[in-house]
Amino acid sequence: MRGLIIPGILAAATFGAHPAAAETLTVASRPVADEKAVFATVESVSVVPARGRIGGTVVQLNVREGDAVTRGQTIATIGDEKLALQMKSLDAQIDALQAQSNQAQADFTRTEGLVERGTLPRVKLDEARTALNVAENGLRARTAERAVVQQQFNEGQVLAPADGRVLKKQVAVGSVVLPGDAIAMIAQQNFKLRLRVPERHARLLKAGDKIRVDGAEFGDQAARSGVIDLVYPQIEDGRVIADATVENLGEYFVGDRLRVWIAGGERTAFVIPSSYVTTRFGIDYVLIRQADRTISAPVQRGRVLPTPDLPDGLEILSGIRAGDQLVRP
């Protein structure tokens, strides 16, 4: 016998000749995806450095590891005493040139009046106009030079190049940096899973394949699915590298290792609705209808395999065979 006759079930089997008495299901094997477990790491799409544009001393650092930043946010300030001295020097020169320009304007106005009354020759008016133009151009040149130094002073603010999270600070307050030195490393948002798959699965792996991540990896029970975006053509250390997108992956820990299930081909399996399986005292049973009776047979359940026609599909590893008539409890 393949199972035990359950008291009361035999009577129910007697009424099984009527279609409405019990719902039955014929066991048949079907092809399913042969999933393989591999490890993947949570990585940023790219890690970009926030660099200083001028040299000097770091006088202020506004972020630390783990802080979220937005594009254009000031994360540090670099100070250069030479720029401050140049600003003071140019301010003094601009004040002097402004006084010369005012004096040249007054001389030109006075000379213009005397020339109109015929007291002075017109050549004096041309000389006053030239002196006024020289004074005004000298003032504009010094003003533009001060604007250049002011821009250099403003470039002492180190800005975040993209939205993301600070992975590591490269300097501390008081550090001396040169133009182009990295101040902090920023991991861009929209984290991805980077899979490292043994090369024997390289021919089966392609962009668009579905992957599955157990909910236990995120501290809950709901499994999450994703899609492979890119398969890198180079094999490293016997492994194929691929990137996958998973919704609600998280955005804090970079480098977190997760177990991921990928499709490694196809195999045949028995998949039945989970409602046909009952559990008593820790053992799973199904009801199998035979010619004149219904027996309860123990089975070994596998993983949940939902399909479009069986949303509650459950794989049965042993205990049933093709052609068995299962009765819904």
Residue 207 is assigned to a structural domain of this protein? yes
Looking at the domain assignment, is residue 109 inside a domain?
yes
Same domain (yes/no): 169, 64: yes
The 3-class SS string of the chain reads CCCEECCCHHHHHHHHHCCCCCCEEECCEEEEEEEEEEEEEEECCCEEEEECCCCEEEEEECCCCCCEECCCCEEEEEECHHHHHHHHHHHHHHHHHHHHHHHHHHHHHHHHHHHHCCCCCHHHHHHHHHHHHHHHHHHHHHHHHHHHHHHHHHCCEEECCCCEEEEEECCCCCCEECCCCEEEEEEECCCEEEEEEEHHHHHHCCCCCEEEECHHHHCCCCCEEEEEEEEEEEEECCEEEEEEEECCCCCCCCCCEEEEEEEEEEEEEEEEEHHHCEEECCEEEEEEECCCCEEEEEEEEEEECCCCCCCCEEEEEECCCCCCEEECC
Indicate the pTM of the whole model.
0.51
The proportion of the chain whose per-residue pLDDT surpasses 90, expressed as a percent, equals 14
Query: Which range marks the domain in which residue 209 is found?
Result: 192-265
Task: Tell me, yes or no, whether 39 lies in a domain.
Answer: no
105 located within any domain: yes
Residue 37 lies in a domain: no
- What is the total count of domains within the chain? 4
> Is the same domain home to 197 and 311?
no
User: Same structural domain for residues 176 and 52?
Assistant: yes
Whether residues 222 and 310 share a domain: the answer is no
Same domain, 252 and 314: no
pLDDT at 268 over 80: yes
Q: State residue 84's pLDDT score.
A: 78
Please indicate, yes or no, whether residues 101 and 229 belong to a single structural domain of this protein: no
- Alpha-carbon 287 to chain mean position: 49
Q: Are residues 227 and 259 in the same domain?
A: yes
98-140 pLDDT, tens per residue? 999 999 999 889 888 888 888 888 888 888 889 889 999 999 9
Select from 128, 154, 180 the last residue of a domain: 154
CATH of the domain at 121: 1.10.287
Q: What is the mean pLDDT of residues 225-241?
A: 85
Average pLDDT, rounded, for the chain: 81
Last residue of a domain, one of 102, 136, 154: 154
Judgement on whether residues 235 and 256 belong to the same structural domain of the protein: yes
CATH of the domain at 216: 2.40.30
The reported pLDDT for the residue numbered 4 is 42
Q: Are residues 85 and 72 in the same domain?
A: no
